[in-house]
């Protein structure tokens, strides 16, 4: 039992007999992971920026293309059964990996905050419909309080570990897909298919080119974001195929249905938060809508906190599972406020910068350096000093460092996320996330030849 705990909650590689996730398990987990605030809100941003004819393909392909580019990462970590950031030492170097690990943990607090606060937003609207206490019908303190509750619930589920998550999430995934299909049908029934297709976006940018590029960037940021999350889950995969296809479909087309639904609501009503419309239906439909957002976002918080905690314990193995879970969840509460909630587009751009650059390096190592075979030495992943072949130059792989600077630098030269302007003027024509991925991909591949 002790060994099994170390496999599920710490850093030991998993053997084939110890792996608990098949294709359908992955599909369920990643649907629940994907159908949450991030897809609801990216769909809303897209629907506020573009009409339906542009919004639908951008949501689907804007997520699917980046996900396809980084999908081989599922195979890498399923093959070796190691935690993602431990495995990344082979590519980045042990010390540079620690810098990326810090970036991963801190940037992920935003995902927890968005999932929890969207639950809080839907909860205060529900309370208002049923004439509940005034303080629980306002964003501050109502939505903040409900967001904290959602964070704590998701944290507890993560604490229970992957076996509990597996059983809970199977039922949740079916529920989410059925309810989403129902509410999408309700949107069309209420507003009409033609009306939604012909609706004009409520908040377009100054030109159509900027609107399209911005919407693509929002979705590309979400698509690339999964680069940080493969290894913690696919190390538990029974086969490489189940890891690859389960993540590709679960995080891709199936989860994107949540984005399409909220894009339709944004086009029909011009609102950022899709729960505004659902809760306004009242009665049983409002209750069903609240349950949708509760299940979607709480299960997603759990699916975030568990892999984050695995990563933290892989770096600090003496840290107890209880404290690892708390460290990887409670700081997100500081971000659970209206200002952060309204800045989702900026957050997605920075995520595209970080995860796209990291993904480009990892995929370049897989294809250009190892030619699709990935020849890591497991023992050297666990040796953190100069004796490890992955110590490189003082713990830093110079090729990975330079590729990181090149990819991130090109991104910021193409798009300044805070001001949402393009310093080089290229953003409306090429966007930023996918080109930056290929910059880091090429730079790393070329430098590793020397």
Nearest to 232 by CA among 382, 3, 38, 10: 10
Averaged pLDDT, 182-210: 86
Which of the four pLDDT bands, split at 50, 70 and 90, describes residue 194?
confident
Place of tokens 């100054």: 206
Averaged pLDDT, 222-241: 86
Name the more confident of 257 and 86.
Answer: 86
Cβ–Cβ < 8 Å for 411, 357: yes
Write down the CATH superfamily of domain 14-340: Hydantoin permease (1.10.4160.10)
Q: Is 270 left (phi over 0), alpha (psi -120 to 50) or beta?
A: left
Per-residue pLDDT at 166: 66
Q: How far is the C-alpha of 81 from the C-alpha of 376, rounded, in Å?
A: 12
Per-residue pLDDT at 256: 78
Which of the four pLDDT bands, split at 50, 70 and 90, describes residue 106?
very high
Distance of CA 235 to the CA centre of its chain: 18
pLDDT over 80 (residue 36): no
Neighbours of 156 (CB within 10 A): 16
Averaged pLDDT, 58-74: 91
Nearest to 180 by CA among 103, 59, 263, 65: 263
Cβ–Cβ < 8 Å for 267, 201: yes
Distance of CA 85 to the CA centre of its chain: 16
| pLDDT > 90: percent of the chain | 44
Per-residue pLDDT at 308: 92
Per-residue pLDDT at 109: 97
Cβ–Cβ < 8 Å for 413, 337: no
Structure tokens, 193? 């298919």
Q: pLDDT per residue over 116-154, tens digit each?
A: 998 898 888 878 877 888 888 888 899 999 999 999 999
Q: How far is the C-alpha of 274 from the C-alpha of 394, rounded, in Å?
A: 50
Place of tokens 């990975």: 400
What are the residue boundaries of the structural domains of the chain, listed by start? Answer: 14-340
Per-residue pLDDT at 70: 94
Distances (CA, A) of 13 to 162, 257, 345, 378: 15, 34, 37, 9
Place of tokens 């409306």: 428
pLDDT over 90 (residue 257): no
Q: How far is the C-alpha of 289 from the C-alpha of 119, rounded, in Å?
A: 11
């Amino acid at each position: 039992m002790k060994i099994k705990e170390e496999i599920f909650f710490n850093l030991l590689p998993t053997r084939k007999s110890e792996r608990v996730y098949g294709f359908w398990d992955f599909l369920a987990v990643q649907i629940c992971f994907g159908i949450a605030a991030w897809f609801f809100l990216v769909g809303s941003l897209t629907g506020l920026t573009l009409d339906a004819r542009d919004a639908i393909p951008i949501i689907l392909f804007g997520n699917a293309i980046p996900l396809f580019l980084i999908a081989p990462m599922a195979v890498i970590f399923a093959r070796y059964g190691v935690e993602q950031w431990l495995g990344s030492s082979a590519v980045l170097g042990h010390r540079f990996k620690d810098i990326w690990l810090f970036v991963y943990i801190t940037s992920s607090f935003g995902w927890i905050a968005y999932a929890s606060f969207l639950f809080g937003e839907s909860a205060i609207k529900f309370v208002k419909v049923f004439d509940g206490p005034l303080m629980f019908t306002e964003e501050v303190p109502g939505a903040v309080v409900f967001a904290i509750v959602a964070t704590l619930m998701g944290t507890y589920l993560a604490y229970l570990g992957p076996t509990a998550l597996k059983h809970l999430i199977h039922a949740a995934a079916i529920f989410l897909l059925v309810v989403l299909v129902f509410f999408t049908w309700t949107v069309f029934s209420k507003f009409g298919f033609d009306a939604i297709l012909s609706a004009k976006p409520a908040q377009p940018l100054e030109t159509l080119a900027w609107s399209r590029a911005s919407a693509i960037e929002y979705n590309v940021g979400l698509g690339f974001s999964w680069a940080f999350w493969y290894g913690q889950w696919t190390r538990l995969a029974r086969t490489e195929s189940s890891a690859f296809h389960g993540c590709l479909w679960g995080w891709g087309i199936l989860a994107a249905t949540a984005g399409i639904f909220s894009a339709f609501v944004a086009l029909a009503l011009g609102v950022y938060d899709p729960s505004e419309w659902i809760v306004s239906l009242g009665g049983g439909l409002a209750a069903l809508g609240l349950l949708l957002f509760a299940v979607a976002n709480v299960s997603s918080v759990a699916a975030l906190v568990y892999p984050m905690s695995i990563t933290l314990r892989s770096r600090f193995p003496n840290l107890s599972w209880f404290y690892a879970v708390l460290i990887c969840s409670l700081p997100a509460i500081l971000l659970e406020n209206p200002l952060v909630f309204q800045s989702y587009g900026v957050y997605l751009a920075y995520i595209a910068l970080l995860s796209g650059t990291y993904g480009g390096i990892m995929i370049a190592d897989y294809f250009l350096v190892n030619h699709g075979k990935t020849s890591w030495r497991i023992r050297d992943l666990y040796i953190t000093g100069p004796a490890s072949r992955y110590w490189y130059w003082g713990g830093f792989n110079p090729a990975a460092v330079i590729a990181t600077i090149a990819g991130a630098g090109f991104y910021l030269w193409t798009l300044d996320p805070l001001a949402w302007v393009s310093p080089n003027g290229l953003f409306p024509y090429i966007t930023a996330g996918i080109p930056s991925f290929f910059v880091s991909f090429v730079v790393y591949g070329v430098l590793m030849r020397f």
